[in-house]
Homo-oligomer: A and B are copies of this chain.
Amino acid sequence: MIDETRIARRGLILILSSPSGAGKTTLTRAIAGDSSWALELSISVTTRARRPSEIDGQHYHFIEREAFEDLRARDDLLESAEVHGNFYGTPRRPVEKVLGSGRDMIFDIDYQGTRQVRSKLSGDVVSVFILPPSMAELRHRLERRAEDSAETIERRLANARTEIQRWSEYDYVIVNDDLQAAFKSLQGILAAERLKRTRRTGLAAFVDGLLAEGDGA
């Protein structure tokens, strides 16, 4: 039996973005945690200090500012950002290695990171924007998770109004009204993208093999 997965292909980068509370983190965990999809997570580099709860090389690669500048100068970062004076970035080489071996990755980055990655690996990026069904539901979810102060929730909602407008830069848009339906949509997107001709680098050889074989006549 010819397994579709036995025809070589180039991996893809799945990027989910959403305003906070719309479900990006939940959906990312759901699909990254489902081993049948075999998605690899990218490990970022950062110049910020390691927290006691973090393991170097697992949560982040903790590096010096100078090493970060070196990576950036060599164009070896797919995307980078500065947050509160610390630098974060995604090294390019490990990603290229994973994609070249036909495995897929999932990135948890915002629209600015998405733009940067797309500018460097445009054919490899599959970007999905998650929208909430309503602002009232978004508020309800932020309140329900009870992680944040009232003030933080208000700030997140104000930010959400800006972030929501980034939907127009993404390949796919899912309205996350029902988590299970949204997860199913996400899986459909990933399954379909794996069948795209442009990613299936082994098809030419497969077809050559078909044409070379006898046909049992």
Residues of A within 8 A of B (CB): 1-4, 7, 129, 131-136, 138-140, 154, 157, 161, 164-165, 167-168, 170-175, 177-178, 181, 185, 187-189, 191-193, 195-197, 200, 203-204, 206-207, 210-211, 213-217
Contacts and interface: CB of A to CB of B under 8 A. Distances in A.
A187 to B, nearest CB: 8
Contact of A178 (B1, B134, B197): B1
A102 B132 CA distance: 22
Q: How many copies of the chain does the oligomer comprise?
A: 2
A154 B173 CA distance: 47
A140 B173 contact: no
Given A189-B192, A191-B192, A203-B167, A136 B215 contact: yes
Given A135-B216, A192-B189, A195-B185, A177 B207 contact: no
A185 B7 CA distance: 15
A164 B154 CA distance: 58
Given A172-B196, A177-B1, A217 B139 contact: yes
